Amino acid sequence: MKNENTAIRTIYFSIVASTLLAIIKGLAGFFGNSYALIADAIESTTDIFSSLLVLFGLKYAKRPADDNHPYGHGKIEPLITFLVVGFLLLSAVLIAYNSIQNIQTAHLPPKPWTLLVLGGIIIWKETSFRLVLKKSIETNSSSLKADAWHHRSDAITSVMAFVGITIALLFGDGFETADDWAALFAAGFIVYNSYLIFRPALGEVMDEHLYDDLIEEIRQISIGVEGVLGTEKCFVRKAGTKYHVDLHALVNGDISVSEGHAISHKLKDTLIKKIPNLEHVLIHIEPK
């Protein structure tokens, strides 16, 4: 529960930050003749909606297990991540389309003061990325990680806009569209970033084998439990911020069923105590 609450507080931070930045970028882009900044504002606007989706997902994932969802509701997290990726791709398409339109249309060069705005935005978004990514690692949340990469992609598009505006200002006539080209390249980066976010979420939905380190930790803890002589199969799958484990434990084949049952409960309790991110642990006793 602590992880979920931390993730939700972090998402509120993202929503407020994206809202403020969308307004600042939009105004600066409009009055500063910079489509790259307007493109940045478009992405920040999609960030708001994607963060709202993540917030919904995190709150839904907190629901306890019930008769229809015996393993809880954590699988909604990667599904929300897919929607977040959809928003990223939508913003990339909008930015690319409008960039091409602006490249083909003569317009005034961007104003120098827009560089100051972009400089502040770059620092803020990179700081936000590092903060949210740190929280995503702490809480083990895939959707929060996706939200963190929204901040990083925003920082990159701002860097590209900064470069484009600088070129337009330095070289003058004939280079007015440099920031539009920068926005177009930024759209390409957003598409690439979308894949990096999508791939691990897909693995989570498909219960892909991705947790070798966790499995090794489970095996090491298990053999330290009295009565456990070793382990065989160990399967791990992730749902939200928690893991579900199926473990085959080896015990003395001559002990009673009751003794084996007691060992399995002791093993389960030990694993959950020492690895807080474990939620469901199913122990199958094997005679050695």
Query: Can you tell me the distance from the alpha carbon of 133 to that of 139, in angstroms, rounded to the nearest whole number?
Result: 10
Closest by CA to 153, choosing from 113, 110, 116, 183, is 183
Q: What's the pLDDT at 166?
A: 87
Contact 6, 135 (CB under 8 A): yes
Q: What is the pLDDT of residue 283?
A: 96
Cα gap 32→60, rounded to integer Å: 42
Enumerate residues 6+ apart whose C-beta is below 8 A from 224: 270
pLDDT of residue 214: 93
Summarize pLDDT for 222-262 with one digit per residue, the tens: 999 999 999 999 999 988 778 899 999 999 999 999 999 99
Q: What is the pLDDT of residue 3?
A: 67
Give the residue ranges of the chain where pLDDT is below 50. Answer: none
CA distance 275 to 277: 6
What domains lie within the chain, and their CATH numbers? 2-205 (1.20.1510.10), 212-287 (3.30.70.1350)
Q: What is the mean pLDDT of the chain?
A: 85
Q: What is the pLDDT of residue 107?
A: 67
